[in-house]
Chains A and B, each alone.
Chain A
Amino acid sequence: MKEITVLSGKGGTGKTSLTAAFAQIFSDQIVLCDADVDAPDLHLLMNPSVLSQQEFVCGSQARIDPGLCDGCGRCSEACAFRAIGMEQGKARIRLNRCEGCGLCMLICPQKAITLQPHSVGYWAISKTRFGSSFCHAQLDPGSENSGKLVTQVKKESRVLAKREAKPFLLVDGPPGIGCPTIASLTGANHVLIVTEPTRSAIHDLDRLVKLVRNMNLPMSCVINRSTINPSLTLDIQEYLEVRSIKHSSTIPYDPLFVSALNEGKTIIEVSQKYQTIIKRIGEDWI
């Protein structure tokens, strides 16, 4: 089983639109995974029927028993995350900052602090409307641990791919280069980068390429909305060539991408010509 992660560094370059098109064309060969657990959008085009859904309990959070707390303030001073404030002579946890390390529990002389399991979202297994198994998740807005939820959906996707003997696991990744992105890359066999000819996207592309290089993973790159800036498109092509990164395709700016999305369709469903383009990009990893 080969694992392909679609990434971009910069958000909004067309990762999810392209992943949805792959998910349609290669539906019989893949298990699909949405690893953008912060802002997962793939389900909006896949219209999945959910088969099972589970709460994601990850780590813990501190709770203070106000009856036992004598307000000494030692926990508040010790907390590296500034997650404990003192209010009216009692310690109080700021839940959105607590990372559940347990230091406060260890140092509280009154034993007023306990750790409680912490739910940060859910993950689900579904079938896409094209028939593939689909693992996706939603982090509770404002929560931590998106990297761990990414690792969870990837783990479940691998189990599915193995059980169904599918040759490919297709992963729609998050923007950025931090922990959720690194989690989405861990175990990947191929990275497909979607970029666009803007100075911002090129800057972000370069940071992503360095990350992928450090992890020694093969990659190829699609330049989306190329006609927005043909001269920067040439710059990207040169950038890729110098680094021996395969430039797999160039897609001109097309307002149909927005209309497709707003109808809940893939780009192929609104324009047949994309069938060939998407298939050709797929040859990079097949």
Chain B
Amino acid sequence: MNRKACSIAISSGKGGAGKTTLSVHLADFWHAQKLPVALVDADVEEPNDALFFSFARNESHPSFRSVAKWDESLCAHCLRCKGTCAFNALLASHQKVVVYDTLCHGCGVCVHLCPHKALLMSPLQIGSITDGMTTNGLRVVSGTLDVGQELAAPLVHNTVTFAQEHISEETILLLDTAPGVSCSFVAAVESVDAVILIAEPTRFGRFDLELAVQALTKLERPFGVVINKYEPGLDCIHDYCSSQSIPILGCIHQDTDIARALSEGSIIWKDFPMLSKALESITNQVLDRKRKQVLLR
């Protein structure tokens, strides 16, 4: 990817830590401050960012990945392809060859091995990418995996590439990623400049934060932490971050009124001074580190 502009992912090991909340609010806050920003929902299994906005326009594009396809008329039943698929997606017998679309990773080994060109790559629709403009003029790009498709990472890649190709280089891309620390998460963070990890101060939150830190260290991505649902006395994330010299970019306090307002799927930072202050702190920290080029940790 040749894109020079900045992209920042918002991630968390644990689900429900507040990725979507932070993503939609930070994007809306930056947009209100006239910072050039676009929001990219790369949590394609459960994309929820768009629920928080009303749209002036929305275009949906089908998204594909390549899978192997068998052409019976060309097959000589030589069984050269049998047992060669690393993903168990291909069954070959003297009567026929079956390729299971959802299991096929599209590597092309069977296509390469077939001497009769009876196996070829063909596109399989796996979901869609929605390119939207909110009524306030914020660009929101979302990937949505079709229900029943197993492989999410190719659509994450397609969604991020779509945003990089269609949005101007001056625009900062904010990427809302899938939870966890495997394929979908890696596909979203591998090309970003920095990652904001959001974590809640519970045993689960801390354990999963450590996993995300291990993954990002391995991937050599810089990161900082935002603490969500903080309550006085619940300092496990603070303690962990200071012991590891991980910058804390902001802290959002537990507040049942906020939880209630968020449940409606609305952008609410203007109604809660605590929230807008936290967003301001996160913004200053991120931009300051970006300017000094000491990108997070």
**B-contacting residues of A (Cβ < 8 Å)?**
8-13, 16, 38-39, 41, 44, 59-60, 78, 80-81, 96-97, 99-103, 106-107, 139, 141-147, 174-182, 196-200, 203-204, 207, 210-211, 214, 228-229, 232, 253, 258, 261-262, 264
Contact = CB atoms under 8 A, between A and B. Distances in A.
Contact of A198 (B13, B180, B263): B263
Contacts of A8: 15
Contacts of A262: 202-203, 234, 236
B139 interface: no
Contact of A176 (B46, B181, B186, B204): B46
A228 B260 contact: yes
B74 interface: no
Interface stretch (B129-137, B210-218, B284-292): B210-218
B263 A197 contact: yes
Contacts of B190: 96-97
Given A41-B208, A80-B108, A99-B105, A178 B265 contact: no
A210 B147 contact: yes
Contacts of B148: 211, 214
A178 B45 contact: yes
A203 B211 contact: no
A202 to B, nearest CB: 9
Contacts of B76: none
Nearest to B201: A262
B107 A178 contact: no
- The CB with the most chain A CB atoms within 10 A, among B113, B180, B211, is that of B180
Contacts of A80: 66, 105-108
B150 A182 contact: yes
B88 to A, nearest CB: 10
A16 B84 CA distance: 39
B123 interface: no
- The CB with the most chain B CB atoms within 10 A, among A141, A197, A262, is that of A141
Contact of A228 (B108, B218, B234, B259): B259
B183 interface: yes
**Chain A interface main SS type:** loop
Contacts of A9: 46
B14 interface: yes
B145 interface: yes
Nearest to B103: A179
B113 A106 contact: yes
A253 B260 CA distance: 11
29 contacts: A10-B15, A10-B46, A12-B16, A12-B17, A38-B211, A39-B208, A80-B105, A96-B190, A99-B87, A101-B86, A101-B87, A102-B84, A103-B107, A106-B109, A106-B112, A106-B113, A139-B182, A141-B218, A142-B181, A142-B186, A178-B184, A196-B263, A199-B48, A199-B51, A200-B46, A200-B265, A203-B48, A214-B148, A258-B234
B264 interface: yes
B178 interface: yes
Nearest to A60: B86
B179 interface: yes
Contacts of B207: 39, 41, 44
B16 A10 contact: yes
B45 A177 contact: yes
Contact of B182 (A78, A143, A200, A214): A143
Contact of B107 (A11, A16, A38, A99): A99
Contacts of B218: 96, 141-142
B48 A142 contact: no
A54 B200 CA distance: 31
Contact of A38 (B16, B46, B182): B182
- The CB with the most chain B CB atoms within 10 A, among A60, A99, A145, is that of A99
A145 to B, nearest CB: 8
Nearest to B229: A258
Interface string B85-113: 01100000000000000000111110011
A81 B107 contact: yes
A179 B234 CA distance: 34
A101 B219 contact: no
Contacts of B215: 141-142
A121 B110 CA distance: 28
B262 interface: yes
Interface in B47-77: 48, 51, 66
Contacts of B208: 39, 41
Nearest to A82: B157
Contacts of A197: 263
A39 B13 contact: yes
Nearest to A225: B259
Interface string B210-233: 011011001100000000000100
Contacts of B51: 199-200, 203
B203 A198 contact: no
Sorted nearest first, the 9 A-B pairs with minimum C-beta distance are A11-B15, A12-B16, A199-B265, A101-B107, A38-B180, A141-B215, A176-B45, A179-B150, A142-B215
Contact of A204 (B48, B149, B214, B265): B48
